[in-house]
Chain A
Amino acid sequence: MSGTRRRETPLVTVGGASKGGGLLALAVAAVLFPLVFSNPGITNYGVLTMIFVTAATGWNIFSGNTGYISLGQAVFYGSGAYAMGIAARDWHVEGTQVFALLPLSGAVGALIAVPFGLVALRVRRHTFIVITLAVFFIFQLMAYNFWFTGGSSGLGSPFLSWPPVSYNRSFYYIALAFAAGSVLIAWLVRRSRFGLQLRAIRDDEDRARGLGVKAMRVKLSAFVISGAITAMIGAVWFYYLNQVEPQTGFNPLFDLTLVLMAFLGGYGSVSGPVLGALLIEPLTLWLNTQPAISGSVSEIVLGAIFLVVVLFLPRGIVPTGGELITKLRTRGRPAVVPATDIGPAAGSAPPSPRPGSSVSSGGAR
Chain B
Amino acid sequence: MAREIAQAIVDGILVGGVYALMAIGLTLIFGVLDIINIAQGVLVILGAYLSYSLFTKAHIDPFLGLLITIPAMFVLGVVIHWAFIRRLRGTERTSMTLLVTYAVALIIEGVLFKIYGADNVQLSPSYANSTVHVLGFYIGWIYIWGFVLAVALVGALYALLYRTRFGRSVRATMQDETAARLVGIDVNRVAALTFGIGVAVTAAGGMLFGATNAFNANSGYDLISRLLSIIILGGMGSVGGALGASLFMLTLESLVTVWQPTWAVAVYYAALVIVLLYRPTGLFGRKAVRAQ
A interface residue numbers (CB < 8 A to B)? 67, 69, 119, 122-127, 129-131, 133-135, 137-138, 141, 145, 204-206, 252-253, 256, 259, 263, 295-300, 302-304, 306-307, 310-311, 314, 365
Stretch at the interface among B12-20, B191-199, B251-259, B272-280: B272-280
What are 7 residue pairs bridging A and B, where the CB atoms are less than 8 Å apart in the complex?
Answer: A67-B95, A125-B290, A133-B228, A134-B273, A141-B266, A252-B221, A306-B100
Interface residues as binary, B192-236 with A (CB distance below 8 Å gives 1, 0 otherwise)? 000000000000000000000000010001100100110010001
Min distance, Cβ B243 to any Cβ of chain A, angstroms: 19
Interface residues as binary, B76-94 with A (CB distance below 8 Å gives 1, 0 otherwise)? 0000000010011010101
**Within 8 Å of chain A (Cβ to Cβ): is B165?**
no
Chain B residues numbered 161-197 whose CB sits less than 8 Å from any CB in chain A: none
**Within 8 Å of chain A (Cβ to Cβ): is B103?**
yes
CB neighbours of B98 from chain A (8 A): 69, 126, 129
In the complex, the chain B residue whose C-beta lies closest to that of A145 is B262
Q: Determine whether the beta carbon of A130 is less than 8 Å from that of B100.
A: no
Q: Determine whether the beta carbon of A123 is less than 8 Å from that of B104.
A: no
Q: Determine whether the beta carbon of A256 is less than 8 Å from that of B228.
A: no
Q: Determine whether the beta carbon of B104 is less than 8 Å from that of A307.
A: yes
| The 8 nearest A-B residue pairs measured at CB | A296-B113, A303-B106, A300-B110, A299-B110, A303-B107, A306-B103, A296-B110, A303-B103
Across the interface, B114 reaches (CB within 8 A) one of A131, A296, A307, A310, namely: A296
With A299-B106, A311-B100 in contact, do A124 and B269 touch (Cβ < 8 Å)? no
With A125-B94, A310-B96 in contact, do A300 and B107 touch (Cβ < 8 Å)? yes
Min distance, Cβ A287 to any Cβ of chain B, angstroms: 12
Q: Determine whether the beta carbon of B92 is less than 8 Å from that of A314.
A: yes
Across the interface, B110 reaches (CB within 8 A) one of A141, A263, A303, namely: A303
With A127-B289, A310-B99, A365-B291 in contact, do A300 and B111 touch (Cβ < 8 Å)? yes
B interface residue numbers (CB < 8 A to A)? 30, 35-36, 84, 87-88, 90, 92, 94-96, 98-100, 102-107, 109-111, 113-114, 217, 221-222, 225, 228-229, 232, 236, 262-263, 265-266, 268-269, 272-273, 276-277, 280, 289-292
Q: Determine whether the beta carbon of B225 is less than 8 Å from that of A263.
A: no
Majority DSSP secondary structure for residues of B touching A:
helix
Q: Determine whether the beta carbon of B232 is less than 8 Å from that of A127.
A: yes
CA distance A365 to B96 in the complex (A): 22
CB neighbours of B266 from chain A (8 A): 138, 141
CB neighbours of A314 from chain B (8 A): 88, 90, 92, 96
CA distance A302 to B276 in the complex (A): 33
Min distance, Cβ A282 to any Cβ of chain B, angstroms: 19
CB neighbours of B265 from chain A (8 A): 141
CA distance A123 to B280 in the complex (A): 7
CA distance A125 to B35 in the complex (A): 10
Q: Determine whether the beta carbon of A307 is less than 8 Å from that of B103.
A: yes
CA distance A310 to B93 in the complex (A): 10
CA distance A129 to B290 in the complex (A): 14
In the complex, the chain B residue whose C-beta lies closest to that of A299 is B110
Q: Determine whether the beta carbon of A134 is less than 8 Å from that of B228.
A: yes
CB neighbours of A130 from chain B (8 A): 36, 228, 232
In the complex, the chain A residue whose C-beta lies closest to that of B93 is A314
Min distance, Cβ B218 to any Cβ of chain A, angstroms: 9
CB neighbours of A303 from chain B (8 A): 103-107, 110
With A307-B100, A310-B100, A311-B100 in contact, do A122 and B106 touch (Cβ < 8 Å)? no
CB neighbours of A138 from chain B (8 A): 266, 269
In the complex, the chain A residue whose C-beta lies closest to that of B92 is A314
Q: Determine whether the beta carbon of A134 is less than 8 Å from that of B229.
A: yes
Q: Determine whether the beta carbon of A137 is less than 8 Å from that of B269.
A: yes
CB neighbours of B280 from chain A (8 A): 122-123, 127
Across the interface, B84 reaches (CB within 8 A) one of A206, A299, A307, namely: A307
In the complex, the chain A residue whose C-beta lies closest to that of B107 is A303
With A125-B94, A145-B263, A256-B102 in contact, do A134 and B109 touch (Cβ < 8 Å)? no
CB neighbours of B268 from chain A (8 A): 134
Q: Determine whether the beta carbon of B107 is less than 8 Å from that of A131.
A: no
CB neighbours of B96 from chain A (8 A): 310, 314
With A296-B113, A300-B110, A310-B99 in contact, do A124 and B273 touch (Cβ < 8 Å)? no
CB neighbours of A299 from chain B (8 A): 106-107, 109-110, 113
Q: Determine whether the beta carbon of B289 is less than 8 Å from that of A123.
A: yes
Q: Determine whether the beta carbon of B88 is less than 8 Å from that of A311.
A: yes
CB neighbours of A365 from chain B (8 A): 291
CA distance A295 to B113 in the complex (A): 9
Min distance, Cβ B244 to any Cβ of chain A, angstroms: 18
CA distance A308 to B113 in the complex (A): 22
CA distance A138 to B272 in the complex (A): 11
CB neighbours of B103 from chain A (8 A): 256, 303-304, 306-307, 310
CA distance A259 to B106 in the complex (A): 14
CB neighbours of A134 from chain B (8 A): 225, 228-229, 268-269, 272-273
Q: Determine whether the beta carbon of A259 is less than 8 Å from that of B99.
A: yes
With A122-B277, A252-B221, A263-B99 in contact, do A204 and B292 touch (Cβ < 8 Å)? yes
Min distance, Cβ A88 to any Cβ of chain B, angstroms: 26
- Known contacts A122-B276, A134-B272; 4 additional CB pairs below 8 A are A124-B292, A253-B106, A306-B102, A314-B90
